Amino acid sequence: MNKMDQEEVVQQFAVALVQDHETRALRAEDGLKELTADQDLLIKKFSKQNERLEEAIQGSKIYEMVAQTKIYRNKLIALQKTMEELSERAVKIKKRALRLQQQKQQEALTREQAIDHELERERQLIARPAKRS
């Protein structure tokens, strides 16, 4: 093989190698273009979904409702606490009223017994006629 033939063979190999890589590069480029187009389509769809979601949130005022719910929940907890305190106070007052009632009844019984005792003493002090036998 002479030098001319070698250069021609090298040239043919170079052309074949470039053509092979060129077709691979073109296929890769087509694949990347297709992926980019699909990605753009997905980005547009997500953007539309985000817009719809924002409109729904603003339209229904969910945040305000959640905040209002929290406020009313706190009011309910405070009201329950107040009711429990009032209930405890009512129980204490009822116990005290019962104790006072029992004390008054005991005092009334003691007075009644004292009066009865005094009447009995007076009855015994009254002179009685002697029995005739």
82-109 per-position pLDDT tens digit: 999 999 999 999 999 999 999 999 999 9
- Looking at the structure, do residues 85 and 38 belong to the same domain, yes or no? no
- Looking at the structure, do residues 39 and 65 belong to the same domain, yes or no? no
CA 38 distance to own-chain centroid: 42
CA dihedral 109→113→116→122, nearest 10 degrees, is -140
Does 129 fall in a domain?
no
pLDDT of residue 127 exceeding 70, the answer is no
- Looking at the structure, do residues 93 and 112 belong to the same domain, yes or no? yes
Does 131 fall in a domain?
no
Look at residues 29, 45, 60 and tell me which one is the last residue of a structural domain: 60
- Give the domain extent around 118: 61-124
Asked if residues 16 and 23 have their Cβ atoms less than 8 Å apart, the reply is no
Q: In this structure, what DSSP letter does residue 7 have?
A: H
As a whole number of angstroms, the distance between CA 121 and CA 89 comes to 47
Return the exposure string of 64-88: e unless at least 16 CB atoms fall within 10 Å of the residue's CB, then b: eeeeeeeeeeeeeeeeeeeeeeeee
How many domains, the chain? 2
